[in-house]
Amino acid sequence: MNTRNKGLASTIAACGFALGAWGIATPAWAWGPPAAQGEVVLEDYIIQKGDTCVKIARRRFGNGKRYDLIHEHNPNMGPTPHRLVPGEVLKLPVTSEYVKPDAELTHTHREVRARAGREETWGQAELGLDLYKGWRVNTLERAAAEVTFRDTSIVQLRADTLIIIYGATRAKSKRSAAQATLESGALRARLGELAGEAPSTLELETPGAKTSLEGGEALVKVDEAQTSRVANHGEGKAKVSAGGKSVDVGPKMGSKVVKGKKPTPPAPLPPTPAWSANQAGTFVGASGLSGTLRGSWAPVAEAKSYFVEVSRRPDGGDVVAAVVVPGTVNDFELRGFPPGEYYVRIASVDADEFESPPTAARPMKLVEASISQPGGREAELGEAGEGQSPVPRVLPGTIVNAPEGMRCNDGAGELSAAFALVRSGSQRLQCVDAQGAPAPGFEVEVIEIAVAGSDEASRVTGAVGEEVQARLALQSAIELPERLRVRAPEGIEVSEAVRAADGSYQYTVRATEGAPLEGELEFLLGEEGREAVIARAPFAFEAHEAAAPPVETPELREREMFELGVFGGLWIAPRDHALVGREVEFAAQLRPANPQFGLRMSVLPIDYLALEWELAAMPARTEADGRALVFAARGLLSGQLATKVTPVFSVGGGLLGVRSDAAVLGRDVDGAFVFGAGVKFYPRRTLALRLDVRDTLTSGPGTRPLHTPEVTFALSWNFGPDLPRTRAARDRQ
């Protein structure tokens, strides 16, 4: 071994440790394509200081993951990890074509796997994955995929299909042909023609046979017994070779190869089904939920089954669903589709598993209708059987808004842009588009709501004029809103029903004079004018016996009320007061603001007039911090209104005096005149709150009176049998 090879074989690490760690965390098939095969022009590359395999691959091939090309053409580097020695020489490919992928994964649906030829680990195949020679692509149950070769040839893989990709080769015609091996499953090849060029070709190998396809469209299948079937669906050329024999399969013809035997003579394929007339092209689904597509066709006598395929492209590409329908059935209903444009093709399959060319793609459109439940809750989904979509479950009173430009109903009533679901049970929406063409809708279940217990438990009873507290318990499969509107006959006053902690609804009912004594209350869900009646509760009221007319005498009509209360507040002392005993030579100044406490007793002989007596004490201080007790006794005449909240006006007279040490103010009592105003509030029948602002006039020095303002807040208890506001209401009646 020469010095260069010894250095490469015995040294380790620069492109080693990083790639080794990467290899542990990432499947090798995801790093990049495997090494290329065939004749490749090589040139010498001198290793520079700081070079690693990744750096060289990135610089030479435009992809750092192509370090495998370095390993491929330099086998004497030895086991990884490698250490690159500056000055040593590597052999690298010259042509950039060498690193181009042979194909690309251009569509996947559900679970599709892939792995490089030399790897044993499968990985999830992502859309856009580059595929190189030896790569395998495998669709699992109910999956689909599309592979586009470098020459634009396309193969569409059905479920449970395994294909091996090979690089393009030069055919005898000097044209490039895509190569692949179909090990199991089924694929559809679409070999178009580029402008000014010959049709693309595909060399496809299956167990025991080789098939050459040129242009057009063909379907190739490999079953569990490894029998191959080739069906030429288009106008292209197809040749099947096996056991030393080749047959040309013309348009609309098919040939079968049992492994180890020669191909069968070409035979006609079964007829293509014909779509039924007058079918819907637009379907309506529920907003946020999957929708359903439906269709039918004329029966084909030779059909043992039918193959229905749904794609997003008119050419059959971007497959999203495929299903086999028994030959005794000539329609389909496919569920689970989001809104969008779809294209459906159908083929008949005969007893020998040959498949006819598919029908022309039938466009189908799925649009959404929105569902708005009372209370704003989203629709719940019921349990779905196998192969079925869940049905939305909603409350009565749910509003359905038809798709733009369409009108719908629930099978009853007029078609409209928006309507309410008011009938319980399973219903299927019926819709028409702007031209009046039918557009099948989705199924919805409107749940039934029942009153818990007997009619007697929900019955409302009471007397006319009396406010009755009522309760209603409901049974519902899904949660109800917090509030329900209640509709009652004229003359019955009823509040909104509010859900309590125990789940029942509580509300108040009052029957006025002239209202029906018996009837039903209706509980509603939904918008006003489009509501649903979800429950009913009977009511029965008793009328009062006719009362004798009141005697029109003030003494008998009016009833006395007695109040006793306490008050407190702020008393403002005048600057030049006259509260000073005779024995005191000099009147000390009082501080302006002093507290006030007192008792009040009131008698209301009539609604609008009260007699009041008050005793008050005002602990005061002089400017020199002397203590003095100022007191007041007064009688007042107060006027007020016969309402729950009333203004109060007071006027009266009394005494204002002081008691203190002789060294402060001594003792003195003066006559006083009192007037003021306030406001009174009855929060309860037996309780009154009152705020007063008053002024007390007393004699001062000389002839001018002194003003003594005060602000008080009072709390009173009513010991009488009635309140002014209730008496006034009685008088109005």
Domain holding 259: CATH number?
Answer: 2.60.120.1440
Q: Which amino acid is at 68?
A: D
Closest CA to 581 of 466, 464, 667: 667
Q: Which amino acid is at 25?
A: A
- The C-alpha atoms of residue 523 and residue 501 are separated, in whole angstroms, by 19
Could you tell me the CATH number of the domain that includes residue 535? 2.60.40.10
- The C-alpha atoms of residue 580 and residue 564 are separated, in whole angstroms, by 32
Predicted confidence (pLDDT) at residue 61 exceeds the cutoff of 80: no
Residue 586 lies in a domain: yes
- Is 336 in the same domain as 352? yes
Strand 201-206 versus strand 176-191 pairing type: parallel
Render pLDDT for 282-308 as a digit per residue (tens, 0 to 9). 999 988 888 889 999 999 999 999 999
Render pLDDT for 596-635 as a digit per residue (tens, 0 to 9). 999 999 988 877 888 999 999 999 888 888 888 999 999 9
End-to-end CA distance of the chain: 125
Residue 275 lies in a domain: no
- Is 577 in the same domain as 710? yes
Q: Which amino acid is at 88?
A: E
Judge if pTM exceeds 0.85.
no
Q: Which of 42-46, 211-215, 384-388, 452-456 has the lowest mean pLDDT?
A: 384-388
- What's the rounded mean pLDDT across residues 223-243? 94
* Mean pLDDT, all residues of the chain: 84
Residue 347's Cβ-side half-sphere holds a number of Cα atoms within 13 Å equal to 21
State the DSSP code for 199: B
Cβ 533 vs Cβ 540: under 8 Å: no
3-state secondary structure of 682: strand
What is the tally of structural domains in the chain?
A: 5
Joined tokens for residue 302: 């030779």
- Is 618 in the same domain as 577? yes
Cβ 509 vs Cβ 540: under 8 Å: no
Domain enclosing residue 67, as ranges: 3-99
* Confidence class for position 167, pLDDT limits 50, 70, 90: low
Residue 350 lies in a domain: yes
- What's the rounded mean pLDDT across residues 53-61? 79
Render pLDDT for 14-37 as a digit per residue (tens, 0 to 9). 444 333 333 333 343 444 444 444
Q: Which amino acid is at 628?
A: A
Residue 378 lies in a domain: no
Domain final residue pick, 342, 367, 392: 367
Render pLDDT for 483-525 as a digit per residue (tens, 0 to 9). 999 999 999 999 999 999 989 999 999 999 889 999 999 999 9
Render pLDDT for 519-545 as a digit per residue (tens, 0 to 9). 999 999 988 888 899 999 999 999 876
- The C-alpha atoms of residue 126 and residue 123 are separated, in whole angstroms, by 9
- Is 141 in the same domain as 189? yes
